[in-house]
Structure 1
C-alpha cells in the first residue's frame, strides 16, 4: 500500500475530498481548490445543486468566487474512492444538556470507511472531545 505524498496532490494525481459543505467545509474546499483537485461531498442533494449553480445559502463564499473555482460537487459517496485525502467537516451539535451529538461524525465515518481506498488519509475538522477520533471514528473507518 502506498500513501499519497504532497506532490501527488500538487500534481493533480490525487484528489482531496471535503465531506460536509457547510460553514467550515465549503470555505475550506474553495481555498484548497486554488491549488488542488477537490471533490466536495455533502449528503444534501439540494445543497449540491445550489453550489453547482454558484449559490451558497450560508453566505460564507461569494458568488463570484464560487463560479471562478473548480470543485467537483457531489452527493455520490463513491467519488470518495477517487481521493487520497478526505477531510471530514461535519457539525457536532450539542443537546439541551450540552452533550455532543456524534451522529453526523459517525455517519460521515461510516460513509468514508465504506468508500475510501487503502492508504487514504482521513482528517477530522470537527469540534469533538478528546478521544473521539481514536475511540469512535477510527474503529468505524476500519470496519
Structure 2
C-alpha cells in the first residue's frame, strides 16, 4: 500500500462489526454507524447481536463514532451496511446509497473504498461509484480507488 492506512468500517452490524474487530486487533480502526444507540452500546463493550464476544470487543482498538467528520481521518473505508430485500424480493439499496453519500463527504485524494455489503454484480460500479464521485467531487480511478470484497468473516 505504500504507507500505513487508517481504516474505517461503515456499518457496525453483523458483517461490519466483526470486520472492524478484526482490523482493530492489529491497528486503530474507526467504527462508524448512523445509530447513536448502537455506538453507545459498542462503546460500553456490549454487542446485542452476539456476533462478537465482549472480551474480544473490548480488546479491539476501535474508535466507535456516528460523526462523519471522524471518517475523514481514514483513507481506507470498508462499507458493510445491510442490503435487505423487499416484499417483491428486490434488493433495497437505500442504506448502501446513504452510506456511499456519507463516505463521499469524507473522501480525499488517494483514498480507497471497498464495499463488503452483499450486492448483485454491477452495483459497486453502477450505483455506488457515481454517488461517491458526485458527493466528493473526485474521480475514480484517478483520484480514489473503489473495490468490492465478498464477505470473508462469518456474518
TM-score normalised to the size of structure 1?
0.90
1:39 aligns with 2:39: no
Give the aligned CA root-mean-square deviation in angstroms.
1.0
After the TM superposition, which residues 76-115 of structure 1 pair with which residues of structure 2 at under 5 Å, given as runs? 76-115=67-106
Q: Which has the higher helix share?
A: 1
Runs ≥4 residues deviating over 6 A: none
1:123 — aligned with what?
Answer: 114
Q: Distance in 2 between matches of 1:21 and 1:29?
A: 8
- TM superposition shift of 1:41: 0.2
Structure 1 residue runs without a partner (length 5+): none
1:22-44 deviation per Cα after TM superposition (whole angstroms, max 9, x unaligned): 00000111011111220000000
1:8 — aligned with what?
Answer: 3
Paired residue secondary structure (1:8) = coil
Structure 2 residue runs without a partner (length 5+): 135-155
2:21 — aligned with what?
Answer: 30
TM-score normalised to the size of structure 2?
0.84
Matched residue count: 134
- TM superposition shift of 1:8: 2.5
